[in-house]
Structure formats: C-alpha cells, structure tokens
C-alpha cells in the first residue's frame, strides 16, 4: 500500500501503520515518524499559541507522491503512507505522519528519513506561527537544508 493524504482532521498513527502490514507476511519492518506542533518560545520569548499550515491543493499531493515514488526507486519498499495536515493547529496536535514498510529495517529507516527531510525542505506548505506578539510566516532553516543534502545523488 502506498498512500498520500493531506487533510485537516487528526490522524491515528497506530491505525495508519497497521494498514501497512494488514494481511501481509513479507513486511519485516515498519518505521514511523509523527511530527507534533510544539509550544516552544520564539526568539522574542513569546510562547506559540497556534500554527497555521497552508498548502497548494493538488500540487502538494503530486509533489509528495513524486517523492514517495523516488523513495521506491531508491529502496525496496513494500509500502509507504504520508499524511500531512493543514489548517490551524495548536501545540500538541499531530502535524505529519510518515510510515515506510520493507522486508528489512535499513530500507524502511532510510526511506522514512528521506521522506521527512524532503517534507521539511521542499514540500509546498507554508507555516505561520501565532504568538502573543502577533504572527509570522516561518522561513526555511539551514539545518533542514543540510540534512536533506545527504540524499542528493551528486
């Protein structure tokens, strides 16, 4: 099973990962990642009140599907699920879920990391943080770009 969904509703990480092995005996490893909105303080010390995630409908799904296909070319995956939420989220809310299934753990771990690194750097989502002092759009982080560079074939 390979699936990509963008939605406003929360997801059930346990149920999503169970879907990858349902009725299968060839899956030897499932690696999951769940990203949550966290209430860390901004540079001004103001606590995060909420995040608003926007995306380009249609294009976002196509881009994520394209990268799932790239992961399939690089590793012998038996399944992958990517769920990304959009809309207004508060600290503690789940934002993103990535699960990969393979016969062996190395492929599942590598593919999950590849997909998350790509989501953090290139997925067509925009994030605005709401704090006591107002709201600001979040800029890309150099550390995320550095992490993603390890997947470049050059």
Which DSSP helix (H) or strand (E) runs through 123? Answer: none
DSSP 138: P
Give the single-character DSSP code of 47.
B
Residue 44: predicted pLDDT: 67
DSSP H helical segments within 11-153, as ranges? Answer: 13-21, 59-74, 105-122, 142-149
C-alpha Rg value of the chain to the nearest Å? 16
CA distance 54 to 45: 25
Q: Give per-residue pLDDT as tens, 110-133.
A: 999 999 998 888 888 889 888 876
Tokens 């074939």 — which residue?
153
Domains of the chain: 2-36+48-129 (3.90.1170.40)
Is the entire prediction scored with pTM above 0.75? yes
Length of the chain measured in residues: 154
pLDDT computed for residue 141 by the predictor: 64
DSSP 53: E
């Amino acid at each position: 099973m390979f699936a990509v969904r963008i939605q406003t509703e929360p997801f059930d990480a346990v149920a999503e990962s169970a879907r990858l092995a349902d009725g299968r005996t060839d899956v030897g490893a499932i690696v999951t990642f769940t990203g949550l909105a966290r209430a860390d303080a901004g540079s001004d010390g103001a606590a995060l009140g909420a995040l608003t995630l926007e995306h380009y409908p249609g294009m976002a799904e196509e881009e994520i599907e394209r990268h799932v296909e790239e992961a399939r070319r690089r590793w012998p995956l038996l399944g992958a699920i990517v769920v990304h939420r959009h809309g207004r989220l508060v600290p503690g809310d789940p934002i993103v879920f990535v699960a990969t299934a393979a016969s062996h753990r190395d492929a599942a771990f590598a593919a999950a990391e590849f997909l998350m690194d790509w989501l953090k750097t290139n997925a067509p989502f925009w994030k605005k943080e709401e704090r006591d002092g107002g709201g600001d759009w979040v800029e890309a982080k150099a550390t995320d770009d550095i992490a993603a560079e390890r997947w470049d074939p050059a």
